[in-house]
Structure 1
Amino acid sequence: MSPSDERKVAVVTGGSSGIGFAIAQKMAAQGMRVIITGRRRDALDRAVTQLGGDAVGIVADVSSTAGLDALFSEIMTGFGSIHTLVANAGGGVHAPLGKITEAAYDQQFDTNVKGIVFTVQGALPLMEPGSSIVIVGSTASIDPGPTMSIYGATKAAVRNLMRSWVSDLKGTGIRINIVSPGPTNTQSLRDAFGENAAEGMAFLKNKSPIGRIGEPEEIAEVAAFLASDAASYVNGVELFADGGASQA
């Protein structure tokens, strides 16, 4: 890859599966040069093969500042700049009050909050006026539900980080927004329910005002809109893509 290539560059963290992969597919379909990150080389390689074209997978753990430094150094050398950053990497551990462990707490805050902070901060030197940052949040920021208190707290923290950052970015020409999905049909959601997956998915479907949960491709459409010039006057919003479930 040459830094002189004029095609726009999109970076999607946690892009090897689920919502992140769907967003990477959408960006690639729009003709962007797509870089996905993840912690597992095998998963990245499979995703890159599916994405085709000149997609690139870089191993990086967003909870490691050293890992992020290496990531952005590699992007600078190989691509020169970032036009769209999708900070998607994250995860949750379900546990009710009384069974929350320190390890689970640290894991979620290190990935979902620290990871977002230093992903965005690390990307900024590679971004120019007209660039866009899209953070993948969650409706858990306002409607966490039982057993999701820590996960919801991390997503609420990210929402408040952005409230400050939109002012910090004044004058840069860089927009920043959050897409907050509701329940979405991914393997990670099913895994979160464990042996109660069928029951959990049915509960979420019944809760939805439109009678179903979302698909990763639907979240990708919203992320792509927020990143695009069509949203050039949209800045500092948390856009809920949940079929109205968090309002029900």
Structure 2
Amino acid sequence: MSKIIVITGAGAGLGKNLAQRFAADGDTVVLLGRTRSKVEAVAAEIGERAMAVECDVASADSVRAAFAQIAERFPKIDVLINNAAVFAPSTVADASDAHIVDTISINLNGSIFCARAAIPMMGPGGHIINVGSESVDVPFWHLTLYQCSKAGLEQFTVSLRRELEPNGIRVTMIRAGQMMEEGKATGWDPEAAMRFAKANMEAGINLMSRPISQFKSVTGIFRAVVDMPADVHMGTVHVSARTAG
């Protein structure tokens, strides 16, 4: 049965690939993103099964406005995928105010704001999926802020799962490893990126030798989680990259 699936951070990367995958499978996707032109471009590529909505997940007011707009077309939604996130290396000492605020506000607060807005639009069978990170367990250097935001998201997932179980709404954490989009640069400050690589190498983590998966490959995991039988639940799913052989 076709589902209404809301995806944050859908203008590029994993969010874009998820939207394309679900729409191709016959679902209707709602693309949320801070940059209207990006989500509108993705929606235009997908066609009639896509709706683009401008939304800054770090802003509670923006999230409320976005979900009010969604409700005008889809009073009920089936799935929310909290994918929006920012990722940039920095020590805490070197982090700017904006870096600290954006990392926590987008990666953690944004998922909470969106979940809060989505819950009243869901019924039994609804599903909230939060996208986590392997960095919670892997001791990468210069990722303290990112790791904290994702660790907080994991605890939020566990607690929200207990809260929503009586409502028949499932909550899943998909902890993902390194992924890439061909031809897309990280946008990192070159000096910060160099310090990041050097610090991890000195700690025994060779970033260049770590496998990286393709976004399109990972979408199959989300498809399986969304389609799991009603009497089955996956609380946490670990997805890691591997060297294809």
| Distance (whole Å) between structure 2 residues aligned to residue 155 and residue 189 of structure 1 | 22
| Distance (whole Å) between structure 2 residues aligned to residue 11 and residue 17 of structure 1 | 15
The match for 1:52 is: 47
The match for 1:16 is: 11
1:219–1:205 distance in 2 versus 1, CA, 3 Å? farther
| Distance (whole Å) between structure 1 residues aligned to residue 184 and residue 145 of structure 2 | 17
Structure 1 residue runs of 5 or longer lacking an equivalent are 1-5
The match for 2:158 is: 163
TM-score in terms of structure 1 length: 0.86
The match for 2:241 is: 243
TM-score in terms of structure 2 length: 0.87
The match for 2:63 is: 68
Is 1:141–2:136 an aligned residue pair? yes
| 1:72-221 mapped onto 2 (5 Å cutoff) | 72-186=67-181, 190-192=186-188, 194=190, 203-207=206-210, 212-221=211-220
1:173–1:205 distance in 2 versus 1, CA, 3 Å? farther
1:36–1:226 distance in 2 versus 1, CA, 3 Å? same
Q: CA deviation at 1:67?
A: 0.7
Structure 2 residue runs of 5 or longer lacking an equivalent are 198-205
| Distance (whole Å) between structure 2 residues aligned to residue 159 and residue 91 of structure 1 | 16
Q: CA deviation at 1:141?
A: 1.9
| Distance (whole Å) between structure 2 residues aligned to residue 9 and residue 48 of structure 1 | 14
Range 90-99 or range 164-173, more displaced? 90-99
1:215–1:50 distance in 2 versus 1, CA, 3 Å? same
Which deviations, in whole Å up to 9, do the C-alpha atoms of 1:148-201 show, x marking residues without a partner?
Answer: 11001100000011111111012111111111221111366733374769x96x
Q: 3-state SS of the aligned residue for 1:229?
A: coil
Q: What amino acid does structure 2 have at the position aligned with 1:206?
A: S
| Distance (whole Å) between structure 1 residues aligned to residue 190 and residue 73 of structure 2 | 40
Contact 1:12 1:36 in 2 (8 A): yes
Q: CA deviation at 1:232?
A: 4.9
4+ aligned runs moved over 6 Å, structure 1: none
| Distance (whole Å) between structure 1 residues aligned to residue 24 and residue 139 of structure 2 | 33
Identity of aligned residues (%): 24
Contact 2:28 2:50 in 1 (8 A): yes
Which deviations, in whole Å up to 9, do the C-alpha atoms of 1:55-104 show, x marking residues without a partner?
Answer: 11100100111111111111111111111111111112210242122221
Q: 3-state SS of the aligned residue for 2:187?
A: helix
1:130–1:181 distance in 2 versus 1, CA, 3 Å? same
Root mean square deviation of aligned Cα: 2.4
**Alignment counterpart, residue 36 of structure 1, candidates 31, 55, 62:** 31
Q: 3-state SS of the aligned residue for 1:61?
A: coil
The match for 1:229 is: 228
Q: What amino acid does structure 2 have at the position aligned with 1:131?
A: G
The match for 2:200 is: none
